[in-house]
Amino acid sequence: MGSQEVLGQAARLASSGLLLQVLFRLITFVLNAFILRFLSKELVGIVNVRLTLLYSTTIFLAREAFRRACLSGSTQRDWSQTVNLLWLTVPLGVCWSLFLGWVWLRLLEVPDPNVVPHYGTGVVLFGLSAVVELLGEPFWVLAQAHMFVKLKVIAESLSVILKSILTVFLVLWLPHWGLYIFSLAQLFYTAFLVLCYVIYFKKLLGSPKSTKQQTLPISRMTDLLPSILRSRMRKQVQRNLTQQTCIKQYSVLSTVPGALSGAPAFRTCIVMGSYDVHSANYIAFVNWKEAKLTWSFFKQSFLKQILTEGERYVMTFLNVLNFGDQGVYDIVNNLGSLVARLIFQPVEESFYIFFAKVLEREKDATRQKQEDVAVAADVLESLLKLALLAGLTITIFGFAYSQLALDIYGGAMLSSGSGPVLLRSYCLYVLLLAINGITECFTFAAMSKEQVDRYNFTMLALSSSFLVLSYLLTRWWGSVGFILANCFNMGIRIIQSCCFIRRYYRESPYRPLGGLRLSPVLLGAFALSGGITGVSEVFLCCEQGWPARLAHVAVGAFCLGATLGTAFLTETKLVHFLRTQLGVSRLADKMT
């Protein structure tokens, strides 16, 4: 498969389901905003921080390394070994779930049962939901590797919507259930998600005339189950006949002293359990190259999880905020990261697959096919430019519209107090998050195993400094300190990745980091828009009623349109990239 074809598939994976995902997220957004009006801040803090951290930690530590390792390289491989490796996530998840569940129940502060009842049951069910989700890992990796575009979007979005609907129903009809509501909804979510993948592949494999089915390396559902150690024989011999021959020969030779030492063929037969007079070759249970790469990524994922969820670990283990403040922080965090989850994450996941397939890990840019290197450099430059523009747009306009957004979403509980300051700080963090997602997407796809191992030491230092900085800044500035510590963490990670990219392309004529530079005219447009919307917020938002609010929104819409128009005129290379790739995506959608 050529680099251009892989690029088209990656763009299709990232863009074709975006409208559908926006629709699903909008529905979920409305449902969550409705639910918030019936919950206490303490219950939100326990569910969204404490229990969700248990679930996300178990999931991340059990599968993240396996996903990155198994999605690297070509799809032309022995998929039985890859499937076997992926099924190891289940026992690993069980171990992590049991250990972390014990920590959550025995070592952490238990909430007042009069305020938040059924905490123990919640811990058990959230841990169980993580294990249930891991059952679908082979299906997920196979779908991602072969770029099944809409499966992931539809499965996850439907699961989230149904989870939200179930939560609304239980909150309205059985409010006294407390954590039972969210625990059952979480378990339903993971079970339905896995079921979507199973039903899809069962239906696909039952349609032999399907084009997608013909490209798959499997032909039946049992191929996605873990297999026992098998041997590949150069000559096809019936196994029962082979075993009988081996037993007969062994019974004769065992009566002759020293006979086995002079019978290599029969000795091979006895040891291997299969007979081939020429040779007997084994297929290992797993691909050891993938397994070693998984171990390298596992060490890295452990550290990355601390960096990603560091503020929740500090809140959970050091008790720097009460459960109510944790709830407000998490709501603002989820609202601020909505764009990151909606746009940046699908782009990062899709183009990680593109870079991993086009580039070879063990070679630098000068020792690879130059056409692939050039395509990868152009794509990386365009993605960096896109991430920078999206991040700057959110940062500039988010400062002026944070209070209005929180008031609409959660009422006075969010729009008063520290909520607006938190969301404004998070808008700056989103800018760094967008850039880091693209730089690390390329870095992790291009690094060799040795480079990944070396990077782990850097991540260890970052993890330690991040936790210390989070604790100190939170003591000084409250929950805003968590976001400032995250900004520091993301800035260091961006610098690390940019240094790797610069070294990678140092001997080549390509400079993809040029995507982080914007024209002075466009920067001026951003600055002017920020000033205008800031003045508009002072005079029109948010105590003057809805007519003033709508006028404030109209000012923002005008400034946004002017800024995007300036970007369209000045960033012609990015516009061409988006037109060509989205055009390829739409054409591919029509053909499938």
What is the reported pLDDT for 494? Answer: 93
Q: How far apart are the first and last CA of the chain?
A: 18
How many other CB atoms are found less than 10 A from the CB of residue 342? Answer: 16
What is the reported pLDDT for 269? Answer: 42
What is the reported pLDDT for 522? Answer: 94
Residue 238 banded pLDDT, cuts 50, 70, 90: very low
Q: Strand pairing partners for 341?
A: none
What is the average pLDDT score of the chain? 79
Q: Which of 200-209, 277-286, 406-415, 425-434 has the lowest mean pLDDT?
A: 277-286
Residue 235 banded pLDDT, cuts 50, 70, 90: very low
Q: And the tokens for 29?
A: 């957004």
Q: Which of 115-129, 217-231, 445-459, 516-530 has the lowest mean pLDDT?
A: 217-231
CB contact at 8 A, 185 and 163 = yes
Q: Residue 585: is its pLDDT beyond 70?
A: no
Mean local confidence (pLDDT), 398-412: 85
- Candidates 349, 333, 338, 378; CA nearest to 437 is 349
d(CA 304, CA 178): 32
What is the reported pLDDT for 19? Answer: 60
- Candidates 423, 387, 394; CA nearest to 497 is 387
Mean local confidence (pLDDT), 361-380: 81
Percent with pLDDT over 70 in the chain: 80
What is the reported pLDDT for 260? Answer: 41
Mean local confidence (pLDDT), 57-78: 79
What is the reported pLDDT for 246? Answer: 46
CA distance readout (Å), 405 to 29, 414, 545, 558? 12, 9, 14, 18
Residue 395 banded pLDDT, cuts 50, 70, 90: very high
Mean local confidence (pLDDT), 241-269: 43
Q: Strand pairing partners for 283?
A: 230
Residue 550 banded pLDDT, cuts 50, 70, 90: very high
3-state SS, residue 228? coil
d(CA 144, CA 197): 12
Q: And the tokens for 352?
A: 């990680």
What is the reported pLDDT for 12? Answer: 57
Cβ-based neighbours of 327, under 8 Å, separated by 6 or more: 40, 41, 42, 43, 44, 45, 46, 48, 49
Each residue's pLDDT tens digit, 84-93 = 888 999 999 9
Residue 341 DSSP one-character state: I
Residue 429 banded pLDDT, cuts 50, 70, 90: very high
Q: Residue 592: is its pLDDT beyond 60?
A: no
Q: Residue 285: is its pLDDT beyond 50?
A: yes
Q: What are phi and psi of 349, to 5 degrees?
A: -65, -40
Each residue's pLDDT tens digit, 98-109 = 999 999 999 998
CB contact at 8 A, 163 and 188 = yes
Mean local confidence (pLDDT), 546-551: 89
Q: Residue 282: is its pLDDT beyond 90?
A: no
Residue 113 banded pLDDT, cuts 50, 70, 90: confident
CB contact at 8 A, 24 and 265 = no
Q: Residue 504: is its pLDDT beyond 60?
A: yes
Residue 396 banded pLDDT, cuts 50, 70, 90: very high
3-state SS, residue 521? helix
- Candidates 411, 422, 418, 410; CA nearest to 32 is 410
* Higher pLDDT pick, 350 / 491: 491
Task: Return the amino acid letter for 490.
Answer: M
Mean local confidence (pLDDT), 139-149: 82
Each residue's pLDDT tens digit, 25-35 = 677 777 777 77
Mean local confidence (pLDDT), 338-358: 78
Which stretch, 16-20, 41-45, 119-123, 400-404, has highest mean pLDDT?
Answer: 119-123
d(CA 477, CA 518): 33
CB contact at 8 A, 89 and 62 = yes
CB contact at 8 A, 291 and 87 = no
Helices and strands in the chain: count of H runs, count of E runs: 26, 2
Which stretch, 6-15, 163-172, 284-293, 581-590, has highest mean pLDDT?
Answer: 163-172
pTM of the model: 0.67
Q: Residue 459: is its pLDDT beyond 90?
A: no
d(CA 517, CA 504): 19
CB contact at 8 A, 89 and 66 = yes
